Amino acid sequence: MKIKLVTLSIFLSISTMAFTQSVPMGQVLEGLTMQSQILGHAVNFAVYLPPDYKAGTRLYPVVYLLHGYTDNESGWIQFGEINTIADRAIESREIPPMIIVMPDAKATWYMNNADGSEKYEDMFIQEFIPCIDKNYRTRPTKEFRGIAGLSMGGFGSLLYSMKYPDMFVACAAYSAAVWTDEEMKARPLGNRDGLFEKLFGLTADKSLLTPHYRANSILDLVSTLPKEQIEKVRFYIDCGDDDFLYKGNSALHVLLRDKQIKHEFRTRDGGHSWVYWRTGITDGLKFIGESFHR
């Protein structure tokens, strides 16, 4: 009886190993840098290449995957396990083979800040995307370029999609850092070493609701941009029912509905955590991947 149990255990172990090994693995490249003339310093980034990248010369669609506040270019790999998730989704044909690019944005919020001393947005659009298209076998057109992100990166993905709709075909924003005016008014000054004052500046009466804030607020952009401009991009928005950012994300959904702008809005059980993002990112990549098809 003991021998049979051991044999079964070995069989199950071998079967599990065979299943795991049957999923072709993509390649993760970390420690990459691009020297930015706009920023005056190097930008770190990581790249995921699909399993068949080395096997031929074909071109691939690309998704820019943005990290959250306090993370860096390794966050989606270290905590999000995006390479394993992408490998499995590609193997099961849930998503097409794609290149995934993860830049380090530090605490820039992916924006140009109020006084113009940090122009991350300009760098991303003018230098970083062309650099990726030059050095990797991407399909360098809007139809094959998507963007996604979580928290601060969710904000960045929405910001770029709305400001540069001719650059991206689809956006998947998770737990996006979208705030209502009431939330911004209530935010204490000096928070996070004065981060938001640096980003948005201050009005004469010490409010963060400056013209620069208005120019970069997701809710303001939806309210002021032409409907046809926003509709150039397909949007997927996902925020947990226990997430502290639920108000801004819900307000974004309502505003898009009121303007009759098609989008996908998801609320799942969970909060602002890697467990939530890991279990949802496949659906976002699938949504973007569907946009690459005709």
What does the domain layout of the chain look like in residue ranges? 24-291
Please, which pLDDT band fits residue 120 given cuts at 50, 70 and 90? very high
Query: Does the pLDDT at position 16 exceed 80?
Result: no
Return d(Cα 267, Cα 251) in angstroms, integer.
13
What mean pLDDT is predicted for residues 118-141? Answer: 98
Phi, psi values for residue 128, rounded to 5°: -70, -50
Instruction: Please report which residue ranges of the chain form alpha helices under DSSP H.
Output: 2-21, 75-78, 82-91, 120-123, 129-135, 152-163, 181-186, 195-200, 211-216, 218-224, 227-230, 246-258, 274-278, 281-291
What mean pLDDT is predicted for residues 239-253? Answer: 98
Put simply, whether the predicted model's pTM sits higher than 0.85 gets the answer: yes
Return d(Cα 234, Cα 146) in angstroms, integer.
10
| % of the chain beyond a pLDDT of 70 | 93
What is the pLDDT at residue 17? 46
Give the three-class secondary structure for 69.
Answer: coil
Q: How far is CA 79 from CA 37, 49, 108, in A?
A: 31, 18, 21
What is the pLDDT at residue 21? 58
Query: Does the pLDDT at position 294 exceed 90?
Result: no
Summarize pLDDT for 81-95 with one digit per residue, the tens.
999 999 999 999 999
Query: Does the pLDDT at position 263 exceed 80?
Result: yes
What mean pLDDT is predicted for residues 132-156? Answer: 98
Q: How far is CA 215 from CA 52, 117, 122, 211, 239, in A?
A: 42, 17, 15, 6, 23
In this structure, the strands spanning 99-103 and 41-49 are antiparallel
Cα 220 from chain centroid (whole Å): 20
What is the pLDDT at residue 8? 41
CATH architecture of 24-291: 3-Layer(aba) Sandwich (3.40)
Hey, how many other C-beta atoms are within 10 angstroms of the C-beta on 29?
12
State the average pLDDT for the chain: 93
Q: Which tokens in the block code for residue 240? A: 């947990």
Please, which pLDDT band fits residue 11 given cuts at 50, 70 and 90? very low
